[in-house]
Amino acid sequence: MGSSPQGPSLGALFRGFLTAGALSFGGGLSAWIRREAVQKRGWIDDRQFLTSYALAQIVPGALNANLAVYIGSQLRGALGGLVALAGLMLLPLGFFLGLGALYTALHGSAAGEWVALGLAGAGAAGIGLNLSIGIRLGRRNLRGRAPFAVAGIIAVAVGLLGIPLQWTLLVMIPVSLALTPRTAPTVEGPAAEGPAVKDKDSAA
């Protein structure tokens, strides 16, 4: 994955991440980023998205901001990373500021309670979206018992035992690498040249 003449234009990159940010009500933003970058526009494939997602988790900072910057920079360099981040954050930031002002103005009133209930429901929807992307990526990319075991151990360690993510990954990444079969991936046909670009206005 990387910047190339066949990569999306900066305008297409901005619109793709703008759409992801606009549709991610209640959370699940990673799922919407995957939908735009993998399913709808074909900029990257699931394996590349999973790699980007893992790296965005490891490095400091907000997960989805890291994900946007990483994918954007791989497709169109440093400027692409900035454009992707700007598209991702533009509408959510404006919506958040407006909703925050509304919630503060209505706090303590009956209408404020309805706003709080609506936000709680949106949060539940976000959890469901995050679970759905985990299940989809797991079904497509986890092969054999070892990867499932590694994913399960990390989920239990972080989610149930409360072990910090960085310490869990410090142990489990070497374990995962040791359990990964030493076989080179095979690439056939047009896939060897990278993912096809489906977005009609994504010419460089």
Q: What is the pLDDT of residues 102-114, one digit of tens each?
A: 777 777 777 767 7
Q: What is the pLDDT of residues 121-158, one digit of tens each?
A: 777 776 776 677 677 667 666 777 777 788 888 888 88
Query: What is residue 86's predicted lDDT score, i.e. its pLDDT?
Result: 95
Q: Is 73 helix (H, G, I), strand (E, B) or coil?
A: helix
Query: What is residue 27's predicted lDDT score, i.e. its pLDDT?
Result: 61
Query: What is residue 72's predicted lDDT score, i.e. its pLDDT?
Result: 95
Kindly indicate the confidence band of residue 71, based on its pLDDT and cuts at 50, 70 and 90.
very high
Is the pLDDT score of 188 beyond 50?
A: no
* Angstrom distance (rounded) from CA 169 to CA 171: 5
**Can you tell me the mean pLDDT for 159-177?**
82
Query: Locate tokens 């990319």: which residue?
Result: 141
Domain ranges of the chain: 1-130, 142-180
Kindly indicate the confidence band of residue 177, based on its pLDDT and cuts at 50, 70 and 90.
confident
Query: What is residue 135's predicted lDDT score, i.e. its pLDDT?
Result: 74
46, with CB counted inside 10 A (0-12, 13-18, 19+), is middle
Is there a contact between 77 and 71 (Cβ–Cβ < 8 Å)? no
Distance (Å) of CA 189 to CA 1, 34, 77, 195: 16, 24, 26, 11
**Can you tell me the mean pLDDT for 50-63?**
86
Distance (Å) of CA 74 to CA 22, 77, 129, 134, 199: 22, 6, 25, 23, 17
